[in-house]
């Protein structure tokens, strides 16, 4: 019986691979995290236009190593990925390459500046 349960469990884990749009929108409320890039290449992750408080999360899903870029506290990010992908899926959480001040990230640059008198 235990073999049948393990096979069913594996099938369920294989179906849970991608982040749904609903999950992405609820992350801020539940975990205090924001996913910036999903399953991205090293060139995308090394882009300095991301905020400096972003982390690179390396995790394994169905034997495939993936890298995401995520904002939040390290503990919250760990909880998020542990809850989503399970035990032993998280390989590493490391600092990202972003250089933008987190307070200023996501705001449009103001082109019209007031002239000083």
| Structure-block tokens of residue 80 | 């998020």
Yes or no: say if 34 and 16 are a contact pair by the CB < 8 Å rule: no
Q: How far apart are CA 81 and CA 61, in angstroms?
A: 11
What DSSP string runs through 40-89?
Answer: --HHHHT-TTSBTTEEEEEEEETTEEEEEEEES-HHHHHHHHHHHH-TT-
Residue 59 CB burial class (10 angstroms; 0-12, 13-18, ≥19):
buried
| pLDDT tens profile 5-52 | 444 444 544 555 678 888 888 888 999 999 999 999 999 999 999 999
Domain range annotation of the chain: 11-95
| pLDDT tens profile 58-82 | 999 988 999 999 999 999 999 999 9
């Amino acid at each position: 019986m235990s073999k049948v349960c393990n096979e069913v469990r594996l099938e369920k884990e294989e179906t849970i691979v991608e982040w749904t749009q609903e999950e992405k929108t609820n992350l801020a409320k539940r975990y205090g995290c924001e996913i910036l890039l999903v399953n991205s290449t090293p060139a995308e992750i090394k882009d300095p236009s991301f905020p400096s408080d972003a982390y690179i999360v390396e995790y394994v899903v169905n034997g495939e190593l993936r890298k995401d870029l995520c904002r939040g506290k390290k503990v919250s990010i760990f909880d998020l990925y542990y809850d989503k992908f399970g035990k032993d899926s998280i390989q590493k959480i490391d600092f990202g390459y972003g250089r933008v001040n987190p307070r200023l990230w996501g705001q449009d640059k103001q082109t019209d500046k007031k002239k000083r008198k």
